[in-house]
Amino acid sequence: METPGFLEPFVGRWTKRHLLDLESLTSDEITLLLDVAQAFKESTQDCRHKLPLLTGHTSVNLFFEDSTRTRTSFSLAARRLGADVIEFSASSSSLSKGETLLDTAKTIQSMCIDTLVCRHRAPGIPQMLAENMDVSVINAGDGPHEHPTQGLLDILTIRQHRGDLSGKTVAMVGDIAHSRTARSNIWGLQKLGAHVIVCGPSTLVSRRWEEFGVEVSHDLDTILPRCDVLNLLRIQFERQYTRPFPSVREYALLYAMDQKRMQRAKPDILIMAPGPINRGVEITPEVADGEHSVILHQVNNGLAVRMAAMWLLGAGRAR
């Protein structure tokens, strides 16, 4: 299929083979990804229509960690672009027979695939695959390191609701230490001119982020009136040996976004969460489902962002 008109302006502008992180992307590259995602969204009626732009391509979802929204989103994105999709599950693969991860990946590669979408609990696995294989690799979350498409869909959501990010203040609240979402958002938001605050208990929010131009706060109530966007991150208890705060009750008291705190916020504040959300811990149900919440918009934008990434890496890339 010929490139449809709405994508013509973007053809040949992407030069990278992989999408591994937002830290290494330029602001122009991030903007291009967002613009293409927006174009997909506007031209395909919320991405419901199929566009056979990647017909003949094969995308493999190589997921070593549980996932609902990300895996589904990548599968749908590939299918809506006409690509074939193979779902790979670590537990039913030869990995369970002792095969190394790289050998498994190379076996899959030898079946003539084009794109690997990889999620793994360890940082760096997508990079290792990118260095050792001859296909495009998209990082769908590598441990606490990065989750670039999540970062992009968060930023796209903010851009849709608030326009240019320059000068906006975006706070991420919660478990920054273990959050790949935070590590992608920080780079992406800063490169587009936003002021980023990370907020949470001192055991989960390192002062070291100040070295990278990020404001660090341990007091949500103090920063709240300045925030245009609040992104509430889940506490990842499964990654911790000792609890980083005395109790869930205490955490909720200090950091949960509830109706009382909404009174202190800007009247047009955007409430976001990458999910899954723990209702009553980071966010109360009335705020999660309230008028300021754009949580479901984020999920919807995920599809457009992943279509954009797959198209740019596949058909839209400069050769």
Partner 1 sequence: MLKTLIQNGRVIDPSQNIDRVTNLLIEEGRIAAIDVDPQSDMKVIDATGKLVVPGLIDLHVQIREPGFEEDETIESATYAALAGGFTSIAAISETNPPVDSAAAVIYLGRQASEADHCNVFPVACVSSGRQGEEMAEIGILHNAGAIAFSDGQRPVSNPELLRRALEYTLMFGRPVLNRPEMVELSRDGVMHDGSVSTVLGLAPMPAEAEDVMAARDIRICEATGGKLHLLAISCSGTVDILRRAKVRSVGVTASICAYQFALTDDAMRGFHTSLKLNPPLRSRDHIDACIAGLKDGTIDVITSGHAPRSSEKKMCAITEAPFGMVGLETALGLISTHLIHTGHVDWPTVIRAMSTNVAQVLGVEKGTLQPGADADVTLIDPDARWTVDTSSFRSKSFNSPFGGVELTGRAVETIVGGVTKFRYDGN
Which residues are annotated as part of the binding site for L-aspartate? 97, 180, 234
Q: Distance (Å, rounded) from C-alpha 268 to C-alpha 162?
A: 9
Which amino acid type is present at position 295? Answer: I
Rounded to a whole number of angstroms, the minimum distance from the CB of residue 297 to partner 1 is 26
Half-sphere CA count of 163, side-chain side, radius 13 A: 2
Rounded to a whole number of angstroms, the minimum distance from the CB of residue 98 to partner 1 is 10
Residues annotated in the binding site, as ranges?
69-70, 97, 119, 147, 150, 180, 234, 275-276
Cβ nearer to partner 1, comparing 143 with 188: 143
Rounded to a whole number of angstroms, the minimum distance from the CB of residue 16 to partner 1 is 17
Cβ nearer to partner 1, comparing 50 with 207: 207
Here the contacts of 208-214 (C-beta below 8 Å, separation 24 or greater) are 209/176, 212/186, 214/186, 214/190
For residue 148, whether the previous peptide bond is cis, meaning omega lies within 30 degrees of 0, is no
Residues annotated in the binding site for carbamoyl phosphate, as ranges?
69-70, 119, 147, 150, 275-276
Q: Distance (Å, rounded) from C-alpha 238 to C-alpha 184?
A: 21
Nearest to 304 by CA among 3, 35, 25, 52: 35
By the criterion CB under 8 A, which residues form the site for partner 1? Answer: 23, 100-103, 120-125, 127-128, 142-146, 178, 180, 183, 206, 208-209, 211-212, 241
Cβ nearer to partner 1, comparing 61 with 181: 181
DSSP H/E element including 142: strand 136-142
Nearest to 176 by CA among 239, 227, 241: 239
Rounded to a whole number of angstroms, the minimum distance from the CB of residue 66 to partner 1 is 16
Q: Distance (Å, rounded) from C-alpha 142 to C-alpha 133?
A: 17
Q: DSSP labels for 98-132?
A: T--HHHHHHHHHTTT--EEEEEESSTTHHHHHHHH
Cβ nearer to partner 1, comparing 51 with 197: 197
Rounded to a whole number of angstroms, the minimum distance from the CB of residue 78 to partner 1 is 25
Cβ nearer to partner 1, comparing 101 with 173: 101
Rounded to a whole number of angstroms, the minimum distance from the CB of residue 35 to partner 1 is 27
Q: Distance (Å, rounded) from C-alpha 116 to C-alpha 138?
A: 6
Q: Distance (Å, rounded) from C-alpha 214 to C-alpha 219?
A: 15
Yes or no: say if 49 and 82 are a contact pair by the CB < 8 Å rule: no
Yes or no: say if 272 and 298 are a contact pair by the CB < 8 Å rule: yes
Rounded to a whole number of angstroms, the minimum distance from the CB of residue 127 to partner 1 is 5
Q: Distance (Å, rounded) from C-alpha 209 to C-alpha 221?
A: 20
